[in-house]
Amino acid sequence: MPKIHNGNPAVFERKDGNFEIKLVVSGGTMSTEQIARVAEVAGKYGAEVHFTMRQEISILGIAEENLEAALEELAEVGLKAGSAGMTVRNVTACLGDKYCFKATQETTTLAKEIEEEFLGMKTPGPVKIGISACPYPCTRPQFNEIGLMGRVRPDLDIEACTGCGRCVTVCKKGATKIVDGKAIVDYDKCIYCGRCVVACPEGARFRGMDGFLMFVGGRGSWPPYEGYILREFISRDEIIPQIKKILEYYLENGEPKKRLREFINKTGWEEFKEAVVLDGQ
């Protein structure tokens, strides 16, 4: 096993005999000051910088005698080592509706809120959380222990619809068509991406239902598993209470070093679902 610095599994010895500092990055977003400090620390101590698959930054090649100084300098701009071991890891997220035309939901603030509540919590196995703002999930939330995928159920003001066909053009699933001069939705085909709502020039399309799809039990490492769907629609204000209930049940009943997917399979999906879904859902 590699040597761990001061009990922190995110600061550990690598094959070259030097150490890695894995920094927590919330939702893949950093300030320019933080980016500059990472470069400064890496340059000062002869290290390299690696961008991980989970939107973290690792500083590699730091000699053990320089670790404390490097950690202190990083902490001055709010950067800390974390997101490793049997804990709740950093939250990955796409850019969300602040920047992305396809996004249905805000993501980066949500990622920070989840991290403030759960980051570093000791768990039986690693718990990774991913968020995408729409059903075209660049962050692959379905391959996380807990995944959130933004979605919108489109509805239609039939009187306002002009039958222009713009919604038909933007729909990637063939869920919309024009019948008798009006747009209709086949909800069996619709994936609730919200593109038709955004594209409607008359405002006839509107958000009939708004929130996230929640996955649990996904896994990105080998062997990969797509998560089970726990909630078809979950509102933003329910997300933290729902995650809390999942983690409490996992903590109370899970086995050490057994990931959430293994725990769910051993427990049984229906029993797990009944135990963790918030009351009234």
CA separation for the pair 215, 92 (Å, rounded): 14
Q: Angle CA(225)–CA(213)–CA(94) in degrees, nearest 5?
A: 80
Q: Which distant-in-sequence residues (6+ apart) come within 8 Å of 162 by Cβ?
A: 202, 204
Place of tokens 């991290």: 115
pLDDT at residue 192, rounded to an integer: 94
Domains plus CATH for the chain? Answer: 4-75 (3.90.480.10), 88-151+211-276 (3.30.413.10), 152-210 (3.30.70.20)
* CB distance 124 to 250 below 8 Å: yes
175-188 burial: b if 16+ Cβ within 10 Å, else e: bbeeeeeebebeee
* CB distance 62 to 68 below 8 Å: no
Cα 40–chain centre separation? 29
The DSSP line for 164-224 is --HHHHH-SSS-EEEETTEEEE-TTT-----HHHHH-TTS-EEEEEEEEEEEES-B-SSSP
Q: List per-residue pLDDT tens for the chain, 281 residues long.
A: 789 999 999 999 999 999 999 999 999 999 999 999 999 999 999 889 999 999 999 999 999 999 999 999 999 999 999 888 899 999 999 999 999 988 999 999 999 999 999 999 999 999 999 999 999 889 999 999 999 999 999 998 989 999 999 999 999 999 999 999 999 999 999 999 998 998 899 888 889 889 999 999 999 988 899 999 999 999 999 999 999 999 999 999 999 999 999 999 999 999 999 999 998 77
* CB distance 62 to 70 below 8 Å: yes
